[in-house]
Amino acid sequence: MTFYDEIGGHETFEKIASVFYREVALDPVLRPMYPEEDLGPAEDRLRMFLEQYWGGPSTYGEQRGHPRLRMRHVPFHVDPDARDRWLTHMRTALDEAQLSPLHDATFWDYLQRAAHSLVNTFEPSGVGPVQQAQIRPDLGLTS
């Protein structure tokens, strides 16, 4: 049984992607990174990527090829503020998915490592209010 199956399969990943993009739609820094008026296609891509990564259907690879996360994010201004906002919205999505503690910790560890690896600038974007750094052990933020 894969991690995908253990946490509830398609329905769970659908919920995580849906909640994440619900939050992104309201975020003044992340929302402008999505040129589409409708976030539905981005939501589908995230869901398919996560499903494939965690042992579900390989639909993402069949439709989009190798994920190449760093390359796909190069055009975007991914600074520490954007990373932290992304993690905040993903934390909300995982909380609402109500995974077991072990599955939550495993999923969260991956998301934190992925988010940190995608930072491609330390220059502020100038878009939206910059979140003040704060102690957030739940997000792994310590400065």
Residue 78 lies in a domain: yes
Structural domain boundaries, residue 19: 3-117
Residue 124 lies in a domain: no
The average confidence (pLDDT) of the chain is 84
Residue 51 lies in a domain: yes
Residue 122 lies in a domain: no
Residue 140 lies in a domain: no
Contact 94, 106 (CB under 8 A): no
Mean pLDDT of 138-142: 55
Annotation: binding site: 116
* Domain count within the chain: 1
The string of DSSP codes covering 53-83 is HTTS--HHHHHH-S--HHHHHTTS---HHHH
Model pLDDT, residue 111 = 97
Percent of the chain with pLDDT over 70: 75
Quick one: tokens of 13? 């990943």
Quick one: tokens of 126? 């100038």
Annotation: binding site for heme: 116
Q: What are phi and psi of 81, to 5 degrees?
A: -65, -45
Residue 29 lies in a domain: yes
CATH number at residue 27: 1.10.490.10
Q: pLDDT tens digits for 118-136?
A: 888 777 766 655 454 444 5
